[in-house]
Amino acid sequence: MQYSQKVIDHFMNPHNVGKMEHPDAVATEGSPACGDQVTVYLKVNEETKVIEDIKFQSYGCASNIATGSIITDLAIGKGIEEAKTITWKEAAEALDGLPPVKMHCSVLAVDTLRAAIQNYEIAKGLIPIPEFSKETIIEELKKVIYPQVGEDIVTLKMVKYAGLDDGVATIDLDIPKFDNFRDNVVEEIREHLEKYPQVKNVIINY
Ligand code: FES
């Protein structure tokens, strides 16, 4: 697999790695695509809401370590509102790209950063606990990467319908029958949605 020099550099010498004592917020997220995990710790200035310190721990692949490292560089010194807008594409670009089958590693890193920020906001009473809705499902589907091209299935218009009715999530997919990645995509959607206690059943039509 071809990695950029930046991915190799961040993998060999990751920035801001390790556990933080007494963080203001922490989040651990796992990738349904591979089972790897990232933990992000934050120290946030109470007055300015600027991320003054950030650390991460990785339990996964080289891209997992490299993307964990790069998001700490991207987020440190930013206000939480700005840090929330960092996208997985920006993280991948900051590493001079990732192989398409490794794009989900940058999704995991950014997802964990956002979860840590959200935990901070909830703990400080800045936002209410988010309600589970159809929008939550669509946001989760945007994290499912089609590995052949390294793009998410919503952007690729593979999702024809997404609905939520009485705890049943229904997804209609447009994905060729003989596509090698079809089963991976279906499995990943399930894992993204089944982690929510509000989801009693997931129906995927394809
Ligand atoms: Fe699991 Fe990279 S393969 S995060």
> Is 129 inside any structural domain?
no
Report whether 64 contacts 36 (CB < 8 A). yes
Q: Taking 90 as the threshold, does the pLDDT of residue 32 lie above it?
A: no
- List CB contacts of 48: < 8 A, sequence separation 6 or more: 79
> Is 182 inside any structural domain?
yes
Looking at the fold, whether 110 and 154 belong to one and the same domain comes out as no
Our answer to whether residue 105 is catalytic in this structure is yes
Q: From CA 124, how far away is CA 19, in angstroms rounded?
A: 22
> Is 128 inside any structural domain?
no
| Total domains present in the chain | 2
Instruction: Give me 51's structure tokens.
Output: 């991320």
Looking at the fold, whether 146 and 98 belong to one and the same domain comes out as no
- Ligand 1 centroid–CA 64 distance in Å is 5
Quote the pLDDT of residue 116.
98
CATH of the domain at 91: 3.90.1010.10
> Is 174 inside any structural domain?
yes
Ligand 1 surroundings by CB, under 6 angstroms: 31, 34, 36, 60-61, 63-64, 102, 105, 108
Quote the pLDDT of residue 35.
86
Instruction: Give me 126's structure tokens.
Output: 């800045």
**What is the average pLDDT across 118-138?**
94
Q: Taking 90 as the threshold, does the pLDDT of residue 64 lie above it?
A: yes
Q: Taking 90 as the threshold, does the pLDDT of residue 199 lie above it?
A: yes
Quote the pLDDT of residue 33.
82
Residue with tokens 């089609």: 146
Q: Is the pTM of this model over 0.85?
A: yes
Return the bridge partners of 204, or none. 171
Instruction: Give me 29's structure tokens.
Output: 């997220």
Domain that holds residue 41: 5-123
User: Catalytic pick from 91, 105, 113, 175?
Assistant: 105
**What is the average pLDDT across 141-167?**
95
- Domain end (from 90, 123, 156): 123
Confidence of residue 94 (pLDDT cuts 50, 70, 90): very high
Quote the pLDDT of residue 88.
95
> Is 190 inside any structural domain?
yes
Quote the pLDDT of residue 34.
87
Of 1, 34, 56, the residue with max ligand 1 atoms within 8 A of its CB, to mutate for a pocket test, comes to: 34
Q: What is the 3-state secondary structure (H, E, C) of 147-171?
A: CCCCEECCCCCCEEEEEEECCEEEE
Looking at the fold, whether 24 and 83 belong to one and the same domain comes out as yes
Terminal-to-terminal C-alpha distance of the chain: 30
Looking at the fold, whether 117 and 143 belong to one and the same domain comes out as no
Q: Taking 80 as the threshold, does the pLDDT of residue 127 lie above it?
A: yes
Quote the pLDDT of residue 163.
94
Quote the pLDDT of residue 178.
87
Quote the pLDDT of residue 176.
86
**What is the average pLDDT across 16-37?**
93
Our answer to whether residue 61 is catalytic in this structure is no
CATH of the domain at 144: 3.30.300.130
Q: Taking 90 as the threshold, does the pLDDT of residue 171 lie above it?
A: yes
Share of the chain above pLDDT 90, in %: 92
Confidence of residue 192 (pLDDT cuts 50, 70, 90): very high
- Ligand 1 centroid–CA 63 distance in Å is 6
Looking at the fold, whether 49 and 149 belong to one and the same domain comes out as no
